[in-house]
């Protein structure tokens, strides 16, 4: 068996050639090499110990496009859900992994994007992802039988996708104004329902003006740069093992689909601000103190902003039921399953019918026993 160190051929997106015979290779989750099924050559993936380097956010935005580290890719944009994904050059047609809409290569377009710097390679194999999916579906109440059958036969329908993400680091300096509320109690007299005089303790609040400054540090705040999946589903796939990031290498993409980012770098940081806001608000309320707080104004400046463009792996499947598409995702690092699910009208109908029958029988026997 030949054993050669593999340097990726970047001429074709998501297609890697064997260093010996030139055949297409596919990355196997968890592997450190790409084995050629035609000549049995072992193409080693050169993975060095990764020292993650952050990019200066403002400097990157102000530099010219010619100096930014970019790559040119060919993508097919789905006419249904809008996802922009790569398609291997030897493939003339396929289905969108997010919504199962047919796609053809003639609809492909070429664009330049910021090149990813780091990647989490696939760790969970397709069959393991399928097992996790089956277990998840098995725990759903009122799922249609067709969904359970789909899950049992979903191994080949699961598609491996690298999703684009931005990560942001920043120091947040927040000045605020508000009010601190401190509770106290007064004794109040009242007349009860029997006409007797009673007393009770009533809570009151004294308010005092408050202002100050709080500092927060955010590290690797993760923002999905795709619009192809609902944000709630994306968030629930976390956490990701970001300390295991390795330097971007085309070898890890072999045999998988990669989606290009739809959320631009600056827009991504605006979304990051939204995720930082509750943390900052909590810090402000803690700094105000007291029993309750009112926050009138928060003015935050973000300093030392840095970012990374990374790719994270998902197994994705799209299922059609009653003319609607339902999407299912498996975190290809942890096995976490998230998805949209249909309900069986008939299962719910007969369940409600059974409950009503049981209640009716109970009422009947109870009335007979009197």
Longest CA–CA span in the chain (Å) reads 99
DSSP annotation of 59: H
- Cα distance between residue 46 and residue 78, in whole Å: 34
Reading the block at residue 10, the tokens are: 């970047």
Q: Are 257 and 197 in contact (CB under 8 A)?
A: no
Based on the domain organization, do 154 and 240 belong to the same domain?
A: yes
Average pLDDT over residues 27-53: 62
Based on the domain organization, do 24 and 49 belong to the same domain?
A: yes
Q: Are 74 and 86 in contact (CB under 8 A)?
A: yes
DSSP annotation of 183: E
pTM summary value: 0.73
Based on the domain organization, do 10 and 101 belong to the same domain?
A: yes
**Computed over its alpha carbons, how large is the radius of gyration of the chain?**
28
Query: Which structural domain range is residue 300 located in?
Result: 171-215+272-304
Q: Is residue 98 part of a domain?
A: yes
pLDDT in tens, 282-297: 999 999 999 999 999 9
- Cα distance between residue 53 and residue 198, in whole Å: 70
Based on the domain organization, do 200 and 52 belong to the same domain?
A: no
Task: Please tell me the total count of domains within the chain.
Answer: 3
* Weakest mean pLDDT among 38-42, 114-118, 172-176, 254-258: 38-42
Based on the domain organization, do 192 and 239 belong to the same domain?
A: no
Q: Are 87 and 103 in contact (CB under 8 A)?
A: yes
Name the more confident of 168 and 328.
Answer: 168
Based on the domain organization, do 31 and 151 belong to the same domain?
A: yes
pLDDT at 262: 86
- Location of structure tokens 């090499």: 33
- Location of structure tokens 């160190």: 5
Based on the domain organization, do 241 and 366 belong to the same domain?
A: no
Based on the domain organization, do 175 and 294 belong to the same domain?
A: yes
Q: Is residue 55 part of a domain?
A: yes
Name the more confident of 247 and 99.
Answer: 247
Q: Is residue 233 part of a domain?
A: yes
Of the ranges 97-101, 144-148, 235-239, 297-301, which is most confident?
297-301
Q: Is residue 332 part of a domain?
A: yes
Based on the domain organization, do 33 and 86 belong to the same domain?
A: yes
Based on the domain organization, do 158 and 37 belong to the same domain?
A: yes
Based on the domain organization, do 146 and 124 belong to the same domain?
A: yes
Of the ranges 4-13, 47-56, 57-66, 242-251, which is most confident?
242-251
Q: Is residue 293 part of a domain?
A: yes
pLDDT in tens, 237-288: 999 999 999 998 888 887 788 888 889 999 999 999 999 999 999 999 999 9
pLDDT at 1: 36
Name the more confident of 183 and 88.
Answer: 183
Q: Is residue 266 part of a domain?
A: no
Average pLDDT over residues 14-41: 60
Please report which helix (H) or strand (E) contains residue 280, including its range.
helix 265-288
β-bridge mates for residue 341, sequence order: none
Based on the domain organization, do 112 and 159 belong to the same domain?
A: yes
Alpha helices per DSSP H over 116-264: 126-138, 145-152, 231-236
pLDDT at 9: 32
- Give the number of residues written for the chain: 370
Please report which helix (H) or strand (E) contains residue 354, including its range.
helix 345-369
- Cα distance between residue 61 and residue 69, in whole Å: 12
Q: Is residue 267 part of a domain?
A: no
Reading the block at residue 267, the tokens are: 């827009």
């Amino acid at each position: 068996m030949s054993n050669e160190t593999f340097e990726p051929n970047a001429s074709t997106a998501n297609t890697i050639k064997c260093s010996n015979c030139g055949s297409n290779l596919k990355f196997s989750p968890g592997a450190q090499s790409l084995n050629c099924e035609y000549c049995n050559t072992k193409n080693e993936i050169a993975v060095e110990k990764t020292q993650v380097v952050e990019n200066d956010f403002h400097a990157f935005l102000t530099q010219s496009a010619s100096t930014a580290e970019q790559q040119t890719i060919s993508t097919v944009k789905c006419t249904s859900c809008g996802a922009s994904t790569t398609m291997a050059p030897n493939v003339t047609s396929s289905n969108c992994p997010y919504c199962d809409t047919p796609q053809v290569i003639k609809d492909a377009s070429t664009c330049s994007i910021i090149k990813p710097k780091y990647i989490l390679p696939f760790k969970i194999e397709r069959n393991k992802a399928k097992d996790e999916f089956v277990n998840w579906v098995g725990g759903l109440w009122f799922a249609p039988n067709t969904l359970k059958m789909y899950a049992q036969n979903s191994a080949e329908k699961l598609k491996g996708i690298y999703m684009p993400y931005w990560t942001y680091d920043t120091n947040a300096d927040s000045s605020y104004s508000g009010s601190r509320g401190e509770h106290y109690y007064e004794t109040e007299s009242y007349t009860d329902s029997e006409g007797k005089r009673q007393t009770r303790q009533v809570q009151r609040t004294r308010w005092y003006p408050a202002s100050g400054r709080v500092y927060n540090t955010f590290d690797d705040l993760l923002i999905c740069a795709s619009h192809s999946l609902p944000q709630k589903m994306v968030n629930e796939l976390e956490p990701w093992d970001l300390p295991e990031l390795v330097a971007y290498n085309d070898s890890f993409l072999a045999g998988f689909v990669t989606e290009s980012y739809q959320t631009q770098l600056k827009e991504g940081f605006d979304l990051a601000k939204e995720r930082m806001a509750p943390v900052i608000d909590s810090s402000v309320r803690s700094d105000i103190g007291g029993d309750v707080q009112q926050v009138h104004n928060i003015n935050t400046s973000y300093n030392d902003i840095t970012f990374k463009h990374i790719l994270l792996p998902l197994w994705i499947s799209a299922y059609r039921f009653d003319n609607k598409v339902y999407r299912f995702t498996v975190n290809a690092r942890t096995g976490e399953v998230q998805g949209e699910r249909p309900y069986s009208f008939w299962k719910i109908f007969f369940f409600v019918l059974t409950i009503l029958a049981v209640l009716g029988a109970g009422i009947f026997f109870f009335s007979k026993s009197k």
